[in-house]
Amino acid sequence: MPLISQRVELARNGANDKVICRMASGWAVMGDVQFLPGYCLLLPDPVVPSLNDLDADARAIYLLDMARLGDAVLQATGALRMNYEILGNSEPELHCHIFPRYATEPEEKRKMPVWFYDWKTATPYTEEAHGDLRHSIARLLQASSRV
């Protein structure tokens, strides 16, 4: 089973420890690594190959959820700005990377795509280190859904 499908299946079964919350279009989850604290992904449920495989209504809901998740991460982290990336080249199933970008990043990296960071040596997500941030993002998403 492809990676995104595996992660969605784990989320459905309550077995994905990185789940922030269920959203209308899928699952908000913390990234496996946290070289930029607050790095998240939006995984669609059901899983589809790409954004283009969603009908107009589902596409609008997914993109709105993406922006809502970005708003929550921005508020929870105090980041300078947010970057959103939907690629699908390595994992050919729809998923959006949501990266907070910080003024404190090294100058040579701050203006470059996050893919220039060393992902292999990045700080892995742990509940002990990042759980409070995950819960903060979840609370902000819950509050924004009532507005």
Share of the chain above pLDDT 70, in %: 99
Q: What is the per-residue pLDDT for 62?
A: 98
Separation CA 67–CA 89 (nearest Å): 22
67: which 2 tokens? 């922006």
- Report the pLDDT value the prediction gives residue 48, as an integer from 0 to 100: 98
What are the sequence ranges of the domains in the chain?
3-145
Confirm if 44 and 25 have CB atoms less than 8 A apart: yes
Q: How far apart are CA 23 and CA 15, in angstroms?
A: 17
* Fold classification of 3-145 (topology level): HIT family, subunit A (3.30.428)
Query: pTM of the full predicted structure?
Result: 0.96
Q: Is the pLDDT of residue 108 over 60?
A: yes
Summarised one tens digit per residue, pLDDT across range 69-80 is 999 999 999 999
pLDDT tens digit sequence for 39-90:
999 999 999 999 999 999 999 999 999 999 999 999 999 999 999 999 999 9
Query: Distance between CA 66 and CA 106 in Å, rounded?
Result: 26
Residue 146, pLDDT > 90, answer no
Distances in Å between the alpha carbon of 41 and those of 27, 34, 77, 104, 129? 8, 12, 15, 22, 18
* Residues 21-32: tens digit of each pLDDT: 999 999 999 999
